[in-house]
Chain A
């Protein structure tokens, strides 16, 4: 049972990536594979809070508090960002994440 992904998923930043900030954006670079990703401010906030312990719901709440994004919009944005970042292998599953989460 996976349950509500916002409660159960606790994504974790993949170690070894280099971060570089730009105005309103974040660049991630993987020196191993020579790949780079450009994150918008929502994805950057998700990345910043993805410590493997913080559930997505808390990340969405932080997005609402910090950027003034409406709560429901923030939840959707966070889910979408996590889906993209996990698909790229930039986020991995946190220690407490259930199978399929992360």
Chain B
């Protein structure tokens, strides 16, 4: 067992310090969130990647509250500055430690990032605008985003879209974490270096954006240009088909994808309504990835 080392992930309004006696855990965190991760002790083999943007450090002057997560072979303990005492270490099987750590960090983000709306959605940049891909897990949004990025789209995020209000419009800030591909999607991206995490059957493969296409991460926030709801269905009648949604249906999809709405309440609802009015969305049902990419590229929003 190694001596404990640590890394700090800095996001707007939230910093998470992770300590672990397992260098592989810190190395994987640096791979997952390269734009936010500052290893206090660089884990062996964890090459620092040049970050396309550093959204957290823009606001580093006001140091946000720091959560402390201790990830060991015995489990995961969470120390919160806003909760007295220490949460007991939660025993976890080794294979579950990284996925639970990842989910815990994302949960802390959704609780603390109050000045931005967070959506469970992938997002890519096309023609200078952001295409939002909100969908529940298993709908194919990461796979579709990866294929779009491989085809030339700018990478914004694969599962946590950060919306910032800007002069009456909404912009998507890059959150270029490593893409998390499930077992079934991996053969669609052969030959790419990935690292696996999680137990068999629930395993995800982390793929660094630069390994998908070098320099693909968006360097700046992009205005929302379209909302597409991906829905992968192996038995879909067409390889890919786009069906328009009403503004209300678009709003509901955005509402259901909203991860931190309790922090925003009615103001957040009104922001999502404004988005839905301006960009009535469409549902993209597909069974063929290439056809889905072509449909997105042809979609005029």
Contact = CB atoms under 8 A, between A and B. Distances in A.
Interface in A1-48: 18, 20, 22-27, 29, 31, 34, 36, 38
Interface of A: 18, 20, 22-27, 29, 31, 34, 36, 38
Interface of B: 246-249, 251-252, 255, 261-262, 265-266, 269-270, 273, 276-277
By secondary structure, the A interface counts as strand
B270 A20 contact: yes
Contacts of B273: 20, 22, 27
A36 B247 contact: no
24 contacts: A18-B266, A18-B269, A20-B269, A20-B273, A22-B247, A22-B273, A22-B276, A23-B247, A24-B246, A25-B247, A26-B248, A27-B248, A27-B251, A27-B269, A27-B273, A29-B266, A29-B269, A34-B262, A34-B265, A36-B251, A36-B252, A36-B269, A38-B249, A38-B251
A22 B262 CA distance: 23
By secondary structure, the B interface counts as helix
Given A34-B261, A34-B262, A22 B269 contact: no
Contacts of B269: 18, 20, 27, 29, 36
A81 B11 CA distance: 45
Contacts of A27: 248, 251, 269, 273
A71 to B, nearest CB: 27
A85 to B, nearest CB: 15
Contacts of A22: 246-248, 251, 273, 276-277
A18 B251 CA distance: 15
